[in-house]
Structure 1
Amino acid sequence: MHYTLRQIEVFLATAWHENVSHAADSLSMSQSAASAALKELEQRFDMQLFDRVGKRLQLNDFGKSLRPHAVALLNQATEFEQLLARQGEVGHIKVGATLTIGNYLAVPIMADFMNRYPGSRVDLTVENTASITQRVRNFELDIGLVEGELQDSTLEVIPWRDDELSLFCAPDHPLAGRPTLSDEDLLSADWIIREAGSGTRQAFEHAMYGLMPKLKLRLELQHTEAIKRTVEAGLGIGCLSRITLQEAFRRGSLLPLYAPQRVWMRRFYFILHKQKFRSTGIRNWIALCQEDDAGTFGTYGPDQ
């Protein structure tokens, strides 16, 4: 074999930091050792992986084409090392989840995973769909759990479970207690909704097709709890996943609203880079998420 795994590590770290010194620090190496490893890799195969732009090293097209294969190679090497240590069922996985999934579904799944596989470790990142997608695309995360529909040639998108959006308001809001809302009611209301780039916002815009340009968007907030508190304060009506509202509905601090002429169902998805090696930990995580068939939500209406 005419390359070493250490050279591959230096290549990937340099691609990430765009600086050999910072790459060396991240790998606990000296700068001279990192530079020598990168230079030897390029000279061995008579190639150039980076364009030198001032003090920065930017991946060239050839380097970009090699990057996903290098990531997969290191992932497989890590898996092999775990198997040698008889820890094939124990893994360190980096999971990304959108805000609804991360705050209401991923934590109990993570606890179940770590209890089921003693010694395992799960790093959970919670951000909106756009951010999680970018991190999976850049191999910063092993797998993403997202709410938004994606069209990305670099990613594998796997359906996971159904979800339903719910409209809601404060108990003293003028629309509270109506059996259903017409499109005219929806246009008359002030709205408190999620920010652009979130899966919930994407699903809301799909449901409101034809009405969005005319809606009165009073506030666009990043956090689910902030939206709930703002709606409770009477500043408008909101739209979030029903799973985020169940406790508030039980307490009566918020009330559901219904607009059956609109489609409020959507799906949650797993996303992985197509060239990402699926370690034992990733396979076990997906299997655990899929075990709970009761997690699929049915359709809710005024009589429920």
Structure 2
Amino acid sequence: MELALPGVAGEDMAHDFVHVVLVAHLLSPVCFFSFTTPAPPVPTCLALKAAITPCGGIRAIALPKEQKSLYYTQCKKYDTSGLCGPKQTTPHYSCHKVLLFMNMDTLRVFCDVVTLRNLSRAAEKHGISQSAVSQQLAQLETLHKCQLVDRKKRPLELTAAGEVFYAAARDILERYDRLSSEIAGLAKPANRIRLAAIFSVGMHTLQPYVKRFMGRYPTVHLRVEYSSVGQIYDRLLRGDVDIGVVALAKKMRAIEVYPFERELLVLVCGPRHPLAGSGAVDIHQLQGMEFVAFEQGVPTRTWIDTILGQYNVAPRIILEFDNTETIKRAVEIGSGVSILPESTVRTELANGTLRALAFSNERFYRPTHIIVRRNKTLSQAGRYLLELLRKHEGESTA
């Protein structure tokens, strides 16, 4: 992508020139600047260097031969990175232009704005301010001379141009992430596999498979990490992990999804709860009952809400947590009942701190899935682990 700049004939143009380049830099921190004769006066270059260097911006500045020496002498005190040394300048006198490589982070922010349909949520995900997200979006629209997002609607909606840009941006990110993954894979030793799983599956359902794998490949370092669902997807796309295991996987073009185990869902209560002595429970008995739930947005919460909705049952939710372990602790102290995978409460059942009741209406299950980045190249041991997990596609844990 090229951005043509007006000629810079004198110091009176310095302010406008630096402003244009700063705007360009906000769009991409990787820039190459080249000027025709007459080049910007040294003070302009110094102002430009002082403004951009703290942001990590300039990779090279091309100056006519007669100004190089003066520029290097005066600019040296600003250049702490050595990026403006003689070896990295390539004179080009045909026109004023800025060559920009689109910033991947900007594309990610834009795609997350589209997915989340909310500027503040996208800002929170990337750890930046909402105004920074708004500025990046405005810069993209200025660059392409069109409106990408209709800000008057809530939640936000894409314009026709935004739909086209979003499809292209998503394709670029997928290609870039695949490239990064492949390059990272070349640097990784073949005897190391990284697997990321949500805590409830990793601590309980996954353990027998880990033991079997280690029996087959005792010299391979299998690192099992426990992460949130969002972190697993992000790290998988970046190539930081090889295989992910989640509940209720979402469909994505860049990710292949395979069924894993179907975990039996049971009603969980404390040993002193009125239902504790029941052999089974009718789901309608949960109507208005104090209930400890997963947080909104957790896939398992959505799944359980759907089950309850099918029977027109609405328990009284008094607590919400993002993980099974905290939910179990709350149920143990009598805060309410909950619905959890049976595999996650076996230790508590053995210790007598919880009771698990089957539903008399029907058997409910939580699907779990294996996720791998599409076109991911796995080692022989990695392929064995994937096939080992896939051999149990769709099987039930109880």
Alignment match, 2:173? 64
Are the aligned partners of 1:129 and 1:148 in contact in 2 as well (CA < 8 Å)? no
Alignment match, 1:43? none
Shift of 1:122: 2.6
Q: Distance in 2 between matches of 1:204 and 1:252?
A: 25
Alignment match, 1:9? none
Cα deviation digits, residues 160-210 of structure 1 (max 9, x gap): 222111111112112222344334411121111222343432332232224
2:374 corresponds to 1:274: yes
Shift of 1:98: 0.8
Q: Distance in 2 between matches of 1:178 and 1:279?
A: 50
Q: Distance in 1 between matches of 2:372 and 2:299?
A: 17
Identity within the alignment, % = 22
Indicate the SS of the match to 2:266.
strand
Indicate the SS of the match to 2:275.
coil
Shift of 1:70: 1.6
Residues 32/241 of structure 1: CA separation in 2 closer, same or farther (3 Å cut):
farther
Are the aligned partners of 2:258 and 2:390 in contact in 1 as well (CA < 8 Å)? no
Residues 276/221 of structure 1: CA separation in 2 closer, same or farther (3 Å cut):
same
User: In structure 2, which of residues 364, 371, 374 is the aligned counterpart of residue 264 of structure 1?
Assistant: 364
Q: Distance in 2 between matches of 1:297 and 1:51?
A: 45
What amino acid sits opposite 1:155 in the alignment?
A: I
Residues 168/157 of structure 1: CA separation in 2 closer, same or farther (3 Å cut):
same
Are the aligned partners of 2:196 and 2:226 in contact in 1 as well (CA < 8 Å)? yes
Shift of 1:240: 1.3
Q: Distance in 2 between matches of 1:165 and 1:128?
A: 20
Are the aligned partners of 1:157 and 1:271 in contact in 2 as well (CA < 8 Å)? yes
Shift of 1:234: 1.1
Residues 252/290 of structure 1: CA separation in 2 closer, same or farther (3 Å cut):
same
**Structure whose alpha-carbon radius of gyration is higher:** 2
Structure 1: gaps spanning 5 or more residues:
1-13, 22-29, 41-46, 83-89, 299-304
Residues 207/236 of structure 1: CA separation in 2 closer, same or farther (3 Å cut):
same
Shift of 1:149: 3.4
Alignment match, 2:354? 254
Instruction: State the superposition RMSD in angstroms.
Output: 4.0
Q: Distance in 2 between matches of 1:63 and 1:74?
A: 17
Structure 2: gaps spanning 5 or more residues:
1-28, 31-54, 58-79, 91-98, 107-131, 137-167
Alignment match, 1:242? 342
Residues 205/138 of structure 1: CA separation in 2 closer, same or farther (3 Å cut):
farther
User: In structure 2, which of residues 252, 257, 263 is the aligned counterpart of residue 152 of structure 1?
Assistant: 252
Cα deviation digits, residues 223-262 of structure 1 (max 9, x gap): 3222222112111001111111123223332112233325
RCO comparison, higher one (Cα < 8 Å, 6+): 1
What amino acid sits opposite 1:234 in the alignment?
A: G
2:149 corresponds to 1:49: no
Indicate the SS of the match to 1:208.
helix
What amino acid sits opposite 1:221 in the alignment?
A: F
Q: Distance in 1 between matches of 2:360 and 2:177?
A: 45
* Corresponding residue pairs, total: 255
Q: Distance in 2 between matches of 1:48 and 1:72?
A: 23
2:201 corresponds to 1:92: no
Are the aligned partners of 2:263 and 2:341 in contact in 1 as well (CA < 8 Å)? yes
Q: Distance in 2 between matches of 1:207 and 1:267?
A: 13
What amino acid sits opposite 2:351 in the alignment?
A: R
What amino acid sits opposite 1:247 in the alignment?
A: T
2:333 corresponds to 1:224: no
Are the aligned partners of 2:246 and 2:368 in contact in 1 as well (CA < 8 Å)? yes
Are the aligned partners of 1:68 and 1:275 in contact in 2 as well (CA < 8 Å)? no
Q: Distance in 1 between matches of 2:82 and 2:211?
A: 43
Residues 185/156 of structure 1: CA separation in 2 closer, same or farther (3 Å cut):
same
Indicate the SS of the match to 2:281.
coil
Shift of 1:112: 4.5
2:305 corresponds to 1:201: no
Alignment match, 1:101? 201
2:238 corresponds to 1:186: no
2:177 corresponds to 1:77: no
Residues 72/137 of structure 1: CA separation in 2 closer, same or farther (3 Å cut):
closer
Are the aligned partners of 1:114 and 1:120 in contact in 2 as well (CA < 8 Å)? yes
